[in-house]
Structure 1
């Protein structure tokens, strides 16, 4: 994928919620943990982590629904208020500053393949992981896998807005 592919648009099934990812995400996780399997109803969840201010709502805003998470800290799932499709989440660890966009809700999800497969220790045995994409049994050390640009963007988030 190139910078020319942005922005990317997506939305829910009924079309009430539409959004635009303005830039490349920080990183794309394909999570195979049992929690993600249960929550998605599939063998894994594919989430593109991006700064929330880089996700622009184009139509109706999704409704934030507080739900439990494997960490015990909870998450807010952004769902269409009509068809209930989840379009992104905010996990307690990252807070509202980072959106975990559900890649499958993009109009062109093929543009965001996973950068890494995580929690592969609990993946379904019939899911075959592609060669060439990093895969780890549990979680990973961010500095070992994220591109320098994404690490710099994350650091800017951690510092917060400039003080005036």
Structure 2
């Protein structure tokens, strides 16, 4: 499946991922609800160096998360599709907004974060790793992903 490919809705920006993902989780924070215009956002964590923009140039908007740390939000300046979240405090990885992949049929999240902000109608499976807020340690999410994707 490598490289994984994806891009924005108007196809002005295209990217490739040249390594296996580290994890996939759903984020139920209010910011992800706003950016996705939905109940949650999907974050596919990958090594930053494995992502290559092959066409176009994303625009960036920076915001502070609940811990006061900066997050760069990369999106298409034409259609507005959110593509990536870069954490300025953790530069070796990047979160790809998983819905922008060309093939999403294989995606299966291993966890949920910020469940305290989840919409009341969302069912949170106890088969997944679940966190009330931002997990201090993301290693369990990475390990569960590895178990399911050896």
Per the normalisation by structure 1, the TM-score is 0.77
Where does residue 75 of structure 2 map in the other structure?
79
Q: 1:30, CA displacement in angstroms?
A: 0.6
SS at match of 2:129: coil
The gaps in structure 1 that reach 5 residues or longer are 151-164
Q: Larger radius of gyration, structure 1 or 2?
A: 1
1:103-161, Cα deviation, whole Å (9 max, x unpaired) = 011111232221211111221110112452222222333333422997xxxxxxxxxxx
What RMSD, in angstroms, separates the aligned Cα atoms of the two structures? 2.2
Segment of structure 1 superposing worse, 57-66 or 130-139: 130-139
SS at match of 1:36: helix
SS at match of 1:111: coil
Segment of structure 1 superposing worse, 28-37 or 65-74: 65-74
Q: 1:82, CA displacement in angstroms?
A: 1.7
Where does residue 117 of structure 2 map in the other structure?
122
1:75-101, Cα deviation, whole Å (9 max, x unpaired) = 111111221211101122213x32110
Where does residue 60 of structure 1 map in the other structure?
56
More helix by share: 1
SS at match of 2:86: strand
Where does residue 102 of structure 1 map in the other structure?
97
More strand by share: 2
| Alpha-carbon contact 1:35-1:70 (below 8 Å) kept | no
